Amino acid sequence: MMFPNSSFYRAITDEQVCKATGKTWSEWAVLLDAWGARQKRLVSITEHLIEHYRLSQIWAQVIAVAYHWERATDTL
């Protein structure tokens, strides 16, 4: 399943995300789902992306916010 639904994040293509992070939106969704990100806070998701995937702060935030808006059940 692809994400995000927000028109702002839809403007960021799979190709752009993959070029910057090495993975597409769908691949990030699968990895974050497997990690249990649906129940995590936004800051925890961002930190996880930085620490475990060595993403830059900005790309970690972009992916975390898009994921959180689309799938997370916890609060910010």
Instruction: Delimit the domains of the chain by residue range.
Output: 7-71
The pTM is what?
0.84
Assess contact for 25 and 57: CB atoms under 8 A: no
pLDDT in tens, 12-23: 888 999 999 999
* Contact of 5 with 69, CB cutoff 8 Å: yes
In tens, the pLDDT along 35-47 reads 999 999 999 999 9
